[in-house]
Structure 1
């Protein structure tokens, strides 16, 4: 069975992972390493979330902003055994701002995170069935946080700016394939990356670096042919966000030991779908996904949702032997939660996100 690329891969950004699953945005996809020959890919995604809560009978307004994700990847095949890839993506991000409303619980609170990562990978095939892959990942991260509103008491008005810092991590994994039935099972581990972010806090005190660790993660992905021109695919992704602690020097002096500016639970995401090739030019896919709720609906105001469910549709057009264009759309229902601090709480319910994506692939 001739292998074909699933159209849903055009949707490079999770529908709204920035609030539904920690800070994930790209899921650190390395799928290009499993392609054939030399290939270049460029992807663009845009997500429009709506997340608003009920603050004492008054709407908070939408606390999240639309965001874009751009990524690119290049694969080079040296021979039948060795191939290499270079990937640029935006692995983590957040765009959250509570509209400023006098007397509100969190009005004026803000959490902005930006990142970019460069991954160099190599893959070695022992035979047609077994292979290993791994490489180095360089990541840059910066952020700013403002705590504002009655829910923060004496900390209301606190602001911290975290300057950019770059650091290295690694990627390692393996795969089993059976090409005659388009079967592939791949397991990939991405290490945690520790950043020392130059930090300026407006509550006084000396400027100092803040150690922040982005999560280690494990991705299990599979696909297999089930009928002529029909493929079933799926994935499980686990990210260990409980080790992502943000505790700047001045903030630490105002709060109990162990308190973090962000409280992010570990996340697990599941996806399953089916792809179908209709003819030599067109193929399509549909997938559903689920992100496990943490069980406790009390969450940080900087991440006021808990879990998610989504459905995505995709289509791919093979324009020529070298050029293909994929597009996808995703609707996500974001789980209800209560944004809570010691002095206040705001329930968030019935929120969602709409995302679209496009990817251009060129073989050379």
Structure 2
């Protein structure tokens, strides 16, 4: 059974990352994946890419305060229905080496965090967001050591990661219709009134866990804890497209300002289970918790104020902030795989992801159905294809209570959204010897 199950795993394991990418709660994109560490060959490498296509649409968008002149038309107006999401690709690579019969190490590259939304500049919520994009890179080393315990083997797991993150957010800071009406001399000012916050940073994380395996029946139970990653962020706050109308009270207008901030990407715990249930058949499932509530408001202040004034939501030095306000995420999945013959195997999986929104965004519960096939022309090479379709459930978004402030977050707009579809495709290859 062991040989048959190892073939089935090719099509089954491609689904976990694919379903996670399609759900994408919080800032999660590719997440963490360590299954290559369990490969029975001494040397194994794999690489893959997934392309995710969310179709989230914002409807009935309303400007909470049209009098502020920040709508797309400069009067609090603009389109009140718009697609808010953008498609994206996720890449990963791993190389596993068996150092001894009992010790294995995996070097990996992944893109665990990210987001890309692009409602554009012509909707009612242009002051809230025109485009937002975050990318990440994780360079990891994870090792394990096996001990004989009972009928199987107990594996101790540990590792570290170096992560990089970068991104930007653009929004309408002051409508040209407003500043041109305030001073006719600004009629020829070339700026369009948008502002841009750009950021980058890095951090180090670690993980620890254990797994128990009985290879003869393809039984494996693994539990891995991934620690939170603290980031010191640096960037720029570009308001050069807005005229310097009030240098005393609003000194950042018309300028490019170096800013700093900090944030924490969440800790997580994941339990994975699998077992052969009949010749050529495998059942598998997982439960994952992610501490997304650690991300509420990420603040940025001018570098010139660092060490002079604390940077927080109430800071007088506050330049800009990202109001995320997430709640913890839970993901539960289960599936079944089957070996059709010596070359082909397939699997199907159903996953549920609890939405991380607290009412300020559109990240509601998502149900995802994934399927995948694996083709192995010989024992050393395997190619996998996967596809997924998900249902992002309906809801509405608007102001919510902010921590450490006396007011609300998300005070610019309100909107509704229906049951929308997300789809994804993936391809990966594996070579072992």
Q: Given the alignment of the two structures, is residue 50 of structure 1 paired with residue 55 of structure 2, yes or no? A: yes
Compute the displacement of 1:335 (Å).
2.0
Q: Which residue of 2 aligns with 1:139?
A: 163
C-alpha distance after superposition, 1:311-353 (max 9, x if no partner): 0111111111100111110001112232322242011112111
More helix by share: 2
Aligned residues: 354
Decide which structure has the larger Cα Rg and report it.
Answer: 2
Distance in 1 (CA, whole Å) between partners of 2:17 and 2:153 is 30
Q: Given the alignment of the two structures, is residue 278 of structure 1 paired with residue 340 of structure 2, yes or no? A: yes
Q: Given the alignment of the two structures, is residue 96 of structure 1 paired with residue 142 of structure 2, yes or no? A: no
The answer (yes or no) to whether the contact 1:246–1:261 under 8 Å persists in 2 is yes
The answer (yes or no) to whether the contact 1:272–1:289 under 8 Å persists in 2 is yes
Distance in 2 (CA, whole Å) between partners of 1:56 and 1:186 is 45
Q: Which residue of 2 aligns with 1:34?
A: 38
From the superposition, tell whether residues 19 and 326 of structure 1 become closer, same or farther in structure 2 (CA, over 3 Å).
closer
Distance in 2 (CA, whole Å) between partners of 1:107 and 1:294 is 19
| 1:264 equivalent among 326, 329, 343 | 326
Distance in 1 (CA, whole Å) between partners of 2:316 and 2:325 is 17
TM-score, normalization by structure 2: 0.75
| 2:292 equivalent among 241, 251, 256 | 241
Gaps of 5+ in 1: 151-155
Q: Which residue of 2 aligns with 1:211?
A: 262
Q: Which residue of 1 aligns with 2:28?
A: 24
Q: Given the alignment of the two structures, is residue 329 of structure 1 paired with residue 387 of structure 2, yes or no? A: yes
The root-mean-square deviation of aligned C-alpha atoms, in Å, is 2.7
Distance in 1 (CA, whole Å) between partners of 2:269 and 2:56 is 28
Compute the displacement of 1:103 (Å).
4.2
Q: Given the alignment of the two structures, is residue 357 of structure 1 paired with residue 426 of structure 2, yes or no? A: yes
Compute the displacement of 1:109 (Å).
2.8
Compute the displacement of 1:230 (Å).
0.5
From the superposition, tell whether residues 44 and 221 of structure 1 become closer, same or farther in structure 2 (CA, over 3 Å).
same
C-alpha distance after superposition, 1:116-151 (max 9, x if no partner): 00110111001242111111111000121234489x
- Report 1:19-168 matches (<5 A): 20-37=24-41, 38-56=43-61, 60-101=81-122, 103-104=124-125, 108-127=129-148, 128-148=152-172, 157-163=194-200, 165-168=201-204
| 1:174 equivalent among 180, 195, 210 | 210
Q: Given the alignment of the two structures, is residue 183 of structure 1 paired with residue 183 of structure 2, yes or no? A: no
Distance in 2 (CA, whole Å) between partners of 1:13 and 1:174 is 20
Q: Which residue of 2 aligns with 1:299?
A: 360
TM-score, normalization by structure 1: 0.89
The answer (yes or no) to whether the contact 1:71–1:90 under 8 Å persists in 2 is yes
SS in 1 for 2:82: coil
The answer (yes or no) to whether the contact 1:120–1:137 under 8 Å persists in 2 is yes
Q: Which residue of 2 aligns with 1:310?
A: 368
The answer (yes or no) to whether the contact 1:16–1:49 under 8 Å persists in 2 is no
Compute the displacement of 1:180 (Å).
1.9
Distance in 2 (CA, whole Å) between partners of 1:59 and 1:103 is 6
Q: Given the alignment of the two structures, is residue 197 of structure 1 paired with residue 233 of structure 2, yes or no? A: yes
Distance in 1 (CA, whole Å) between partners of 2:25 and 2:103 is 34
C-alpha distance after superposition, 1:191-250 (max 9, x if no partner): 111111112223655633211111111111110111111110001111111112411126
Gaps of 5+ in 2: 63-78, 175-192, 240-250, 303-311, 399-409
The answer (yes or no) to whether the contact 2:326–2:357 under 8 Å persists in 1 is no
Q: Which residue of 1 aligns with 2:279?
A: 228
SS in 2 for 1:246: strand
